[in-house]
């Protein structure tokens, strides 16, 4: 299905390569104007040139290099975007790192903290900077990227796992805060991707990475992983008017029937479907611990 983003403008972080670039490309092809944000200015300019070449006459593709974990640089990104577009509709928080790999007591502590700052604080800072603008227009879309770390333990990749779980709960909380402002906030689980993060796991080797996780990574690398386009298509949907009213959800690009969610708005509003929750004995057919 095609979802139009014509007339909409978006900030996309981590947009110079991998999934971030795939999302930016999908946004441009859907008609959006985009500001690309990433730390590496050379890669960022290359991405801008590639996307400008496929953009239409009424679209803009601009770039701003920044570290999203730094509040002052985040403010500059938003200021640049508003100068370019005057009105912003969508924020895609894709910037993220694995952080140090290894047992928690052995990894470099500053690297662990930096991963939290990029994955968690960076996303929160981007939201904080854009929310006043969204609220002034009583409309906005925040699309957050997560990953397997949000829903399953990842031994020896603890900074990534902790930050991704935290950002999902932040999204669920923020969604309730801004529901009355018609701002939708959702999280995408894009699937197992063959990106630079996978290459980092393989480079670390089974001595540093959990052995089972390393074996799965080898298999994923050989089989090709989930196509980046799956996550990109879901990001387009969540940035479009078609998804209006869907908010506070963690949605899998691979496993969930997200195309039909507009037909299930009432079910989504009334239930905890696609959210993080604690599992109790009765959820697994057991009756102990009940009062």
Strand order in the sheet with 33-38: 61-65, 33-38, 9-13, 90-93, 140-145, 183-189, 250-252
The beta-carbon contacts of 42-50 under 8 Å, at least 24 apart in sequence, are 43/16, 43/17, 44/15, 44/16, 46/16, 47/15, 47/16, 47/17, 47/21, 50/25
Residue for token pair 């959800």: 249
> Is residue 160 flagged as an active site residue?
yes
Of these residues, 98, 160, 214, 274, which one is catalytic?
Answer: 160
Closest Cα partner for 20 from 32, 6, 3, 37?
Answer: 37
**Residues forming the active site:** 160
């Amino acid at each position: 299905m095609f979802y139009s983003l014509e007339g909409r403008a978006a900030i996309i972080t981590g947009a110079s390569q991998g999934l971030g670039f795939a999302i930016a490309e999908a946004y441009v092809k859907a008609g959006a104007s985009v500001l690309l944000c990433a730390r590496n200015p050379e890669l960022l300019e290359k991405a801008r040139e590639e996307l400008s070449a496929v953009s239409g006459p009424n679209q803009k593709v601009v770039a701003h290099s920044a570290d999203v974990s730094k509040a002052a640089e985040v403010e500059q990104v938003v200021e640049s975007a508003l100068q370019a577009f005057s009105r912003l509709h969508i924020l895609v928080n894709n910037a993220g790192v694995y952080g140090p790999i290894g047992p928690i007591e052995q990894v470099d502590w500053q690297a662990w903290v930096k991963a939290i700052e990029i994955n968690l604080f960076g996303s929160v800072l981007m939201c904080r900077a854009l929310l006043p603008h969204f609220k002034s227009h009583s409309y906005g879309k925040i699309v957050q990227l997560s990953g397997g770390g949000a829903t399953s333990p990842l031994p020896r990749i603890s900074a990534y796992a902790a930050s991704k779980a935290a950002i999902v709960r932040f999204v669920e909380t923020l969604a309730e805060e801004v529901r009355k402002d018609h701002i939708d906030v959702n999280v995408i689980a894009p699937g197992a991707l063959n990106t630079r993060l996978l290459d980092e796991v393989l480079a670390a080797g089974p001595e540093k990475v959990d052995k089972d996780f390393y074996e799965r990574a080898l298999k994923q690398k050989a089989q090709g992983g989930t196509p980046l386009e799956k996550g990109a298509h879901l990001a387009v949907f969540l940035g479009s008017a078609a998804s209006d009213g869907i908010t506070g959800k963690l949605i899998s690009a691979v496993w969930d029937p997200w195309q039909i969610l507009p037909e299930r708005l009432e079910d989504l509003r009334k239930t905890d479907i696609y959210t993080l929750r604690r599992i109790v004995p009765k959820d697994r057919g057991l009756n102990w611990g009940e009062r």
